[in-house]
Amino acid sequence: MTEQIFDMDNGFWRTVGKAGDMVLLTFLTFITSIPVITAGTSFCALYYVAFKILEDDNRSTIKNFFHSFRENLLQGMVLTVCMGAAGGILSFDIWFMVQAGDFGQNQALFYGGWVICAFLGLLYLILFLYLFPLQARFYNPLRVTVKNALMGGVLCLKQTVLMIVGDGMMTALVVLCFRTVPQIAVIPVLLFLPLCACYNAWVLRTLLGLVPGKKNLPVPDEETP
């Protein structure tokens, strides 16, 4: 009985180990995002390690994280600038609509403006959900990655909705913890980003060619071309 409890290969210790990997992954993502311009690269590395965790093949969180960080450094920085600029423009549009009020008697212009903002916001969310996992998984020119992200968001509508709902629920849980039990709010904060990345990776497993628990399956471990 004692040997089973302290067996590092049993389910309990594997779960503890994965939780530790996720906490470490949160710190790595935060630290490497401090220069701001490397935030996109950090998210790519976050997803790369999430893929390894999903496939039960994460032998070293630090090694895998910085392997992906180096591989995606330049393209990740370009993604940061592009997504940051797009987010800034979208935020300005929303601010302008709020400040403009109801455009007086021109209600059609008012509602049309909000429809455009909603469309652009949805487009931005789709790009945010798909760009980083695709960049972390495949080596493509940036324009191809952007095109694939947009196509994936539209064609894989079920997966898109699942990610929006799942990530939204985890965000709401963090906010709820801060409002009700702030003493333990640090726990969901430390797990939030890796859990979202692992969940999104699981949702996109077919699109990305991921095999959950692949390490323990009797199949060849081949790289996706």
Residue 225 lies in a domain: no
Q: What is the pLDDT of residue 221?
A: 40
Residue 224 lies in a domain: no
* pLDDT higher at 173 or 4: 173
Q: What is the tally of structural domains in the chain?
A: 1
What average pLDDT does this structure show over 66-72? 95
Q: What is the pLDDT of residue 131?
A: 96
Residue 130 lies in a domain: yes
pLDDT digits (tens, 9 = 90+) for 36-55: 999 999 999 999 999 999 99
The DSSP result for the chain, as a single string, is: -HHHHT-TTSHHHHHHHHHHHHHHHHHHHHHHTTTSTTHHHHHHHHHHHHHHHHTT--S-HHHHHHHHHHHTHHHHHHHHHHHHHHHHHHHHHHHHHHHHTT-TT-HHHHHHHHHHHHHHHHHHHHHHHHHHHHHHH----HHHHHHHHHHHHHHTHHHHHHHHHHHHHHHHHHHHHHHH-GGGTHHHHHHHHHHHHHHHHHHTHHHHT--TTGGGSSS--PPP-
Q: What is the pLDDT of residue 4?
A: 46
What average pLDDT does this structure show over 88-101? 86
- Are residues 117 and 94 in contact, defined by beta-carbon separation less than 8 angstroms? yes
d(CA 78, CA 84): 10
Residue 179 lies in a domain: yes
Residue 223 lies in a domain: no
Residue 64 lies in a domain: yes
Q: What percent of the chain has pLDDT over 70?
A: 86
On average, the pLDDT of the chain sits at 86
d(CA 210, CA 58): 14
Residue 116 lies in a domain: yes
Banded pLDDT at 10 (limits 50, 70, 90)? low
Residue 216 lies in a domain: no
pLDDT digits (tens, 9 = 90+) for 97-149: 888 766 666 777 778 888 999 999 999 999 999 999 999 999 999 999 999 99
pLDDT at 3 over 50: no
Q: What is the pLDDT of residue 7?
A: 46
pLDDT at 8 over 80: no
- C-beta atoms surrounding 96 within 10 Å: 11
The structure's pTM equals 0.86
pLDDT digits (tens, 9 = 90+) for 147-167: 999 999 999 999 999 999 999
Give how far the C-alpha of residue 204 lies from the chain's centroid of Cα atoms, to the nearest Å.
11
Q: What is the pLDDT of residue 222?
A: 44
Host domain of residue 204 = 2-211
The DSSP result for 116-174, as a single string, is: HHHHHHHHHHHHHHHHHHHHHH----HHHHHHHHHHHHHHTHHHHHHHHHHHHHHHHHH
